[in-house]
Amino acid sequence: MPQIVLETVINAPAERCFDLMRDVRLHTKTVAKTRENAVAGVTDGKIGLGQTVTFEGTHFGMRQRLTVKVVEFERPRLFVDEMIEGTFQSFKHIHEFSPVEGGTLMLDTVIWTSPFGIIGRLVDGLLLERHLRSLIGGRNAMLKKIAES
């Protein structure tokens, strides 16, 4: 299974970073380039343990839906969401928050399995990994700016 890990240091307390990261409306604002909207489940406010949200957005020129469920939740240290419906065979996003000098280290680990066997694995290496790094990295940069303001 491919995975990416992104580290972002934010000059703000872990509680603030944690709550901003699970804010569904803020999520849609920070990934505006994909025209993503929350269309089912928790569509406004902060998502929590056992709750789901369905995002619809445009990726690679196609409108797609992804429904995730929060399966682990330890405020303000960790939450994990996993795909329960969508294009991927599997998709898991681990959000970790650790205090560091001057703020919080936010660690994103994304693990997925693409459909379509070898074709999916080729797409992973050629397009998908870069797309996810850019999408999540851009989102984290915006979240950092908001948290530090």
Residue reference for tokens 């469920």: 69
CB 15 within 8 A of CB 75: yes
CB 86 within 8 A of CB 70: no
Which residues are bridge partners to 81 per DSSP? 70, 93
What pLDDT, on a 0 to 100 scale, did the predictor assign at position 116? 78
Instruction: Quickly count helices (H) and strands (E) in the chain.
Output: 4, 7
What pLDDT, on a 0 to 100 scale, did the predictor assign at position 61? 84
pLDDT along the chain (149 residues), means of 10: 96 97 94 90 97 94 94 98 95 97 97 85 83 94 97
Helix axes of 14-21 and 129-148: crossing angle, nearest 10 degrees:
130
> Helical H runs in 7-112?
14-21, 24-30
Domains observed in the chain: 3-148 (3.30.530.20)
What pLDDT, on a 0 to 100 scale, did the predictor assign at position 111? 96
What pLDDT, on a 0 to 100 scale, did the predictor assign at position 122? 80
